[in-house]
Amino acid sequence: MKKIIALLGAVLILTVGARAVEVAAPSALLMEKETGTVLYAKDEHAKLEPASVTKVMTILLTMEAIDSGQLAYDTMVTASAHACSMGGSQIWLKENEQMTVSDMLKAVCVVSANDCAVALGEQIAGSEEAFVERMNQRAKELGMNDTTFKNATGLPAEGHVTSAHDIALMSRELILRHPDIRQYTTIWMDTLRNGQSSLVNTNKLIRFYEGATGLKTGSTDNALYCLSATAERDGMELVAVIMKDATSAQRFEDAKTLLSYGFAAYTLKNVMPETPLAPIPVTLGTQATVQPVLGEGGTLLLEKSKSEDLQQTVTLAENVEAPVAAGTQLGTLTVTSGEEVVAEIPLLAGEEVSRITYGQMLLRLMKTAFLAD
């Protein structure tokens, strides 16, 4: 009887869990930032119009231009006639009006300003067309194989498509590599032009969802309501992408459902060896030992139920023959939860050890003989 009750309880938990991550949107995805692990997916490769969620790539390229020194936050950008001709969401730039990169980024992130998005693209690449080429090239580099950009804004254009999967990839790249973007994406209300222009964030989660950090809304008649939403709790940041929802309110509810599921079910653990790793003897090397270090993979994304009682086992080579290149695998740190292996993290040579030459070997033998005398 107890077994039957336990089984029914397990089924109930699974049913409730499955129901908890159901979303109305026809296409959606939930991704963890640090590892890039997909936690939920629903028709995530469907090629759909992203509307202004397109601007995640525009923002990413702008932040990369700032990091490379091509732009600075205080660089003045002059609005062209083309930039000022954009429809849809905008701050009504006038031709030849000047505004800093910082203020234009704010306008793009907070109110999805199409005119500022194009002005930034022109500043970076010389024209919107050239900027779109860079957008598509960057998309290829990120593995966004479902994506073709036709403009910098997401305004309707034939063939301008992406997917929930690809939006998650570029959103992750933005928040992982450029955390400073939060100074704009977390703004709820602000102003431009010395207080003359008011801004209210189109992303309602910024005000109404605990831990929200961004990122970008989008909507057109064909795209319907789209969203890339990011939030962080307890050191873990998630990206929830919603595509083609029926209403604006529903996209926010769907995003909250995915984010809350991720925070309830998963956690990040940083794993380090419990005891110092012993140096490994090197045969025929210019030095006697090489120091192993932890390779990539020390940050683990785990189900919370498996994260509390973790055990470690370290396996290292008894010795290694020179030459030893930095990064050569010398062993493995195995992490288990109960009987399950949850991670195998490589232990690598932290330095290069060259092979000893004949002359060096002779000199070493002579020193050894001299000391023996």
Q: Which residues are catalytic?
A: 52, 55, 112
Pairing verdict, β 189-192 and 98-100 = unpaired
**Cα four-point dihedral sign 35, 40, 43, 49:** negative
- Tokens linked to 181: 């973007």
Q: Indicate the residue type of 154.
A: G
At a CB cut-off of 8 Å and minimum separation 6, what does 194 contact?
none
Query: Which candidate, 286, 281, 290, 236, places its Cα nearest to that of 262?
Result: 236
Strand runs labelled E in the chain: 27-32, 38-42, 76-78, 98-100, 189-192, 197-200, 212-220, 224-233, 236-245, 266-270, 280-283, 289-290, 292-294, 299-303, 310-316, 320-321, 329-337, 340-349
Cα separation of 194 and 336, whole Å? Answer: 57
Cα separation of 330 and 320, whole Å? Answer: 8
The burial of 242, by beta-carbon neighbours within 10 Å (0-12 exposed, 13-18 middle, 19 or more buried), is given as buried
